[in-house]
Amino acid sequence: MRQFDGHAIRKYFRLLKMQKNSIDIRHFTNENGFSLIEVLVTILILAFGILGMAGMQLKAQTQESESYQRAQALVLLQDMTARINSNRANAGSYVSNTVYGTGNSTACSSSTMTAAQKDLCDWNNELLGASEQSSSTVANYCTNTSAANCIGAMVGARGCIEQVSAGTVSTPAQYRVSVAWQGLTATFAPPTLTCGINQYGAEAQRRVIDSLVTIACLTC
């Protein structure tokens, strides 16, 4: 009967066990490698998604600010249009080469001003943002010496009033009221309206709206 060498048998099984462990380790290592790549790809996709959402949020906030400024500009435009319409007999007194909305706010005393002068003074203060101040602290009040504390208007708000045509017996007079301000993003330069021109750096950031006031000749 053939006798088996115990030492050889033990060595054989030991080699089998080492080979099996080696295969398991390689298999385990490969699985971990694939899992890590998948995690990295997922993180990369999430990063791009978050960046896209942040960009959309920033753009939405910019558009919201643009809309808010345009709404304020419309209020100021309608305000002066209404003032001229309510003082039609003296509409010509509102015409000026002055660009309103610069300097400091001033006290508008009705006792020393005509109706047109007071309207223009009030409008200038509104363009400066006098309707809202930056703080309730007295030192930060919106006054005629601290226009920087006036924040109730658009960025760089400007106002202009010009006469488009003089009135005759058959043709009414026309006056153009314009309000300009600085937009947050570049679009395109207003082609014909000059109010606020060259005051905001890039002309593509200048925004302008206007309204025509038509008044029949009251003295013809």
CA–CA separation, 62 and 90 (whole Å)? 41
87 within a domain of the structure (yes/no): yes
Torsion of CA 12, 18, 20, 26, to 10 degrees: -150
16 within a domain of the structure (yes/no): no
Most confident among 28-37, 53-62, 71-80 (mean pLDDT): 71-80
pLDDT at position 33 is 52
Q: Is the pTM of this model over 0.85?
A: no
Torsion of CA 131, 134, 138, 142, to 10 degrees: -40
Could you read off the pLDDT of 186-204 as tens digits, one per residue?
A: 888 888 899 999 888 889 9
Could you read off the pLDDT of 150-171 as tens digits, one per residue?
A: 776 788 899 999 999 987 878 8
Comparing CA positions, the residue from 119, 126, 111 lying closest to residue 91 is: 119
22 within a domain of the structure (yes/no): no
pLDDT at position 73 is 93
Residue 24 pLDDT greater than 70, yes or no: no
Confidence band for 136, pLDDT divided at 50, 70 and 90: low
210 within a domain of the structure (yes/no): yes
Which 3 state secondary structure label does DSSP give 203? helix
Q: Which domain holds residue 73?
A: 45-215
Residue where the block lists tokens 């363009």: 127
Residue 35 pLDDT greater than 70, yes or no: yes
153 within a domain of the structure (yes/no): yes
53 within a domain of the structure (yes/no): yes
23 within a domain of the structure (yes/no): no
49 within a domain of the structure (yes/no): yes
Q: Report which of residues 11 and 115 the model is more confident about.
A: 115
Calculate the average pLDDT of the chain: 80
Domain count, the chain: 1
pLDDT at position 216 is 85
Judging by DSSP bridges, how do beta strands 158-165 and 173-182 pair with one another? antiparallel
pLDDT at position 153 is 77
The answer to whether residues 101 and 182 touch, using CB atoms and an 8 Å cutoff, is: no
